[in-house]
């Protein structure tokens, strides 16, 4: 392995570590742009293309999962968390996790239907924007 290959491999590891660190520190779903801003604070040379490549890689590894919200761009969060829902601030656009699940859907399901999952989103203004 030549010096150029080793340097590229090391840089990518530092960049991926910075991206992982961004998601861990934020502890909420991030857009690629939010991940970029947080990762740039820890390592030079991170671009939006680098973020997208690493998000794809981290999703393939099962480390990240996509958060799809109606009317909003996809966010990403660390995978493997307990079942939870999300709150999107309509002022700043940030997405936050809501602990647990209080949604009682069984009584609303038509007779004979079998529920395999559900999604629940809240929208409003976050503490900083209120």
**pTM, rounded to two decimals:** 0.80
pLDDT at position 16 is 92
Residue 86 marked ligand-binding: no
CA distances from 49 to 2, 8, 43, 55 (A): 25, 15, 15, 10
Query: Is 126 among the annotated ligand-binding positions?
Result: yes
What is the distance between the alpha carbons of residues 25 and 38, in angstroms, rounded to a whole number?
Answer: 9
Does residue 96 lie in a domain region? yes
φ, ψ of residue 71 in degrees (nearest 5): 70, 15
Q: How many domains does the chain have?
A: 1
User: Residue 12: what pLDDT?
Assistant: 57
Q: Which CATH number fits the domain that encloses residue 16?
A: 1.10.10.10
Report whether 129 belongs to an annotated binding site.
yes
Considering the domain boundaries, does residue 64 fall inside one? yes
83 is in an annotated binding site: yes
Evaluate whether residue 130 is within a structural domain.
no
Other C-beta atoms closer than 10 Å to the C-beta of 90 total 12
* Tokens standing for residue 55: 């998000």
**What are the phi and psi torsion angles at 56 (to 5°)?**
-60, -45
Task: Please name every residue paired with 86 in a beta bridge, in sequence order, or none if there are none.
Answer: 97, 121
Which residues in the chain land under pLDDT 70? Answer: 1-12
């Amino acid at each position: 392995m030549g010096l150029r290959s080793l340097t590229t491999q090391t840089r990518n590891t530092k960049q991926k570590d910075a991206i992982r660190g961004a998601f861990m520190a934020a502890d909420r779903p991030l857009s690629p742009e939010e991940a970029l801003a947080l990762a740039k604070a820890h390592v030079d040379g991170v671009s939006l293309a680098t973020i997208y490549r690493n998000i794809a890689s981290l999703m393939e590894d099962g480390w990240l999962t996509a958060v799809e919200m109606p009317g909003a761009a996809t966010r990403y969060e660390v995978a493997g968390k307990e079942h939870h829902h999300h709150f999107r601030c309509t002022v700043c656009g940030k997405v936050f996790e809501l602990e647990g699940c209080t949604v009682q859907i069984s009584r609303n399901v038509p007779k004979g239907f079998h529920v395999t999952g559900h999604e629940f989103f809240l929208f409003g203004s976050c503490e900083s924007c209120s």
